A and B are shown apart, each in its own frame.
Chain A
Amino acid sequence: MVEEQSTSLEFQEVAPRVSEWRRFWRVFLQRKIVLFGLVILGILVLTAIFADFLAPYDPYTGVLTDSLEAPSSQYWLGTDIQGRDTMSRLIFGARTALLVGFVTTGVAAAAGIILGLIAGYFGGVTSMVIMRIMDALMGFPMILLALLISSVLGAGIQNVIIALAVAMLPGYARVMNGLTLSLRENDYILAGRAMGATDMRTMLRHILPNALAPMIVLVTMQLGTLILAEAGLSFLGIGIKPPGAAWGAMVNDGYRYLTYNPVLSFAPGLAIMIVVFAFQLVGDGLRDALDPRLRGLL
Chain B
Amino acid sequence: MTAYIIRRLIMAVIVLIIVTLIVFFVIRLLPGDPLIIFLGQQATQGAITEETLQALRVQYGLDKPILVQYGNWMWGILRGDLGESIYYHEDVGKLMGERFPVTLHLGLVALVLSNALGIALGIVAAVRRGTWIDSVVTVLAYIGVTVPVFWLGILLIYTFGLTLGWLPIAGYTSPFDDFWLSTKQVIMPIFCLSLPGLAGSARVMRSSMLEITRQDYIRTAWSKGLRERAVIFKHALKNSLIPMVTLMGIGVGIIFGGAVLIETVFAVPGVGRLLVTSIFAYDYVVIQSGTLVIATIIILTNVIVDISYGWLDPRIRFG
| A, B from the same assembly | yes
Does B308 touch A at the CB level, under 8 Å?
Answer: no
A148 CA / B289 CA spacing, docked (Å): 13
- B276 to chain A: which residues have CB within 8 Å? 147, 236
How many pairs of residues, A versus B, come closer than 8 Å at their CB atoms? Answer: 139
What band does the interface of chain A fall in when counting residues whose beta carbon is under 8 Å from B? 35 or more
Say yes or no: A140-B298 contact (C-beta < 8 A), given A132-B15, A266-B155: yes
Q: Are B146 and A144 in contact (CB under 8 A)?
A: no
Q: Is the CB–CB distance between B19 and A139 below 8 Å?
A: yes
Closest Cβ neighbor of B290 among chain A residues: A144
Binary per-residue interface labels of chain B (247-272) against chain A in the complex, 1 for a CB within 8 Å, 0 otherwise: 00000011011001100110000000
Interface centre among A139, A252, A265 (most CB of B within 10 A): A139
B29 proximal to A (CB < 8 A)? yes
Chain A residues contacting B23 (CB-CB under 8 Å) are 148
- Against B, the Cβ 8 Å flags (1 = close, 0 = not) of A221-256 are 000100010011001110000000000100110110
Residues of chain A with a CB closer than 8 A to B142's CB: 277, 280
A110, CB-defined interface residue at 8 Å: no
With a cutoff of 8 Å between Cβ atoms, the chain B residues found around residue A137 in the complex are 22
Tell which of B34-42, B179-187, B204-212 binds the partner: B204-212
What distance in Å separates the Cβ of A295 from its nearest Cβ neighbour in chain B? 6
CB distance from B135 to the nearest CB of A (A): 11
| Chain B residues within 8 Å of chain A by Cβ, number | 52
Give the shortest distance, in Å, between B250 (CB) and chain A (any CB): 9
In the assembled complex, the CB of B20 is this many whole angstroms from the nearest CB of chain A, namely 9
Closest CB in chain B relative to A180 CB, distance in Å: 16
Q: List the A side residues contacting B152 at CB < 8 Å.
A: 269
Q: How far is the CA of A231 from the CA of B265 in the complex (A)?
A: 14
- Look across to chain B and name the residue whose beta carbon is closest to the beta carbon of A235: B150
In the assembly, what is the distance between CA of A15 and CA of B105, in Å?
A: 63
A interface residues (Cβ-Cβ under 8 A, vs B)? 132-133, 135-144, 147-149, 151-152, 154, 224, 228, 231-232, 235-237, 248, 251-252, 254-255, 258-259, 262, 265-266, 268-270, 272-273, 276-277, 280, 295-296
* Beyond known contacts A142-B253, A232-B149, A251-B150: 11 more, CB 8 A cutoff: A140-B19, A144-B275, A144-B291, A151-B30, A228-B148, A236-B264, A258-B162, A262-B158, A266-B158, A277-B142, A296-B207
